Homo-oligomer: A and B are copies of this chain.
């Protein structure tokens, strides 16, 4: 199946799952529920959910099996964007061409909507334990680690405090690994866990996810040229070397999932798209 066909077939599964998960904005407190939904619908590329589903399929399970991990990763991603946009962080008034949550609902509700989305992510995965047993708990450990002080949050702290005078590729990639790659890897490993993958498969998929995640973030840095971010692969490597680095990481990642065979083809296609996209 080609990537476009895969995305149009699988995306409705994620949309429906998220729609059922998020509290209705007709129910009180309406403002909180509306704020929680603001950045979830419409979403972005849904890259993390698609990777989670493709990863489950790469180990022989259905996409449906991966939905709790797919949705949980998307909710963690969404909550982190809401908090990143806050005045005390990046102070961004827009996100995906629409007002960011604190502009639309105020700062107080934006902090709280992010907090509630994080709780909901773990709730969604924990509810999967009924049908998935202890692998759901293992997926929660992965996701919480990726989301917490040693992952997303720690990466954001170091990104905001990044010292241009000490910039090096190693320091930039340490932020990329935690701020972007950890959650991408957690989505991929989570999908595979719920799909019943073996421990060796999970380890290779974790490495695959971290490499694709860093390469994805390098691609982001290349697309953001002109923003002059201090913590950017473009800044420390230059355009050509950054592009080469992303391609090197991508091919190393692809080699890891080679022996999963043709059922991993969509996962490989998604990885190529994540790194080579122009949006």
Question: In the complex, A147 Cα to B79 Cα: how many Å?
Answer: 15
Residues of chain A from 125 to 146 with CB closer than 8 A to chain B in the complex: 125-127, 129-130, 133-134, 136-138, 140-141, 144-145
Q: Is the CB of A137 within 8 A of B126?
A: yes
Contacts of A116 in B (CB 8 A): 148-149, 153-154
Stretch at the interface among A6-14, A26-34, A214-222: A26-34
CB contact list, A81-129 vs B, under 8 A = 83, 86, 88-89, 106-109, 111-112, 114-116, 118-120, 122-123, 125-127, 129
Most buried by B among A80, A130, A144: A144
- 1/0 per residue A1-43: CB within 8 Å of B? 0000000000000000000000100001101110010000000
Q: Which of A56-64, A155-163, A195-203, A237-245 contacts B (4 or more CB under 8 A)?
A: A155-163
Would you give the shortest CB distance from A28 to chain B, in whole angstroms? 8
Partner of A119, one of B29, B134, B147: B147
The copy count of this chain in the complex is 2
Residues 209 to 256 of chain A near chain B (Cβ within 8 Å):
none
Question: By the criterion CB–CB under 8 Å, are A123 and B111 in contact?
Answer: no
Contacts A88-B108, A126-B137; A119 near B23 (Cβ below 8 A) = no
In the complex the two chains form, what is the Cα distance from A29 to B129 in whole Å?
Answer: 33
- Contact between B119 and A148 (Cβ–Cβ < 8 Å)? yes
The 8 A-B residue pairs with the shortest CB-CB distance in the complex, in nearest-first order: A129-B137, A119-B148, A123-B144, A126-B140, A88-B107, A116-B149, A116-B153, A122-B122
Chosen A-B contacts, 12 in total, with CB atoms closer than 8 Å, are A83-B115, A88-B111, A111-B111, A116-B153, A118-B119, A119-B153, A120-B148, A122-B140, A123-B144, A133-B134, A134-B137, A137-B140
Interface residues of A (CB under 8 A from B): 23, 28-29, 31-33, 36, 79-80, 83, 86, 88-89, 106-109, 111-112, 114-116, 118-120, 122-123, 125-127, 129-130, 133-134, 136-138, 140-141, 144-145, 147-150, 153-154, 156-158, 160-161
Having A108-B160, A119-B153, A123-B141, one finds 7 other A-B pairs with CB under 8 Å, namely A29-B154, A88-B106, A109-B157, A115-B118, A125-B140, A129-B134, A136-B137
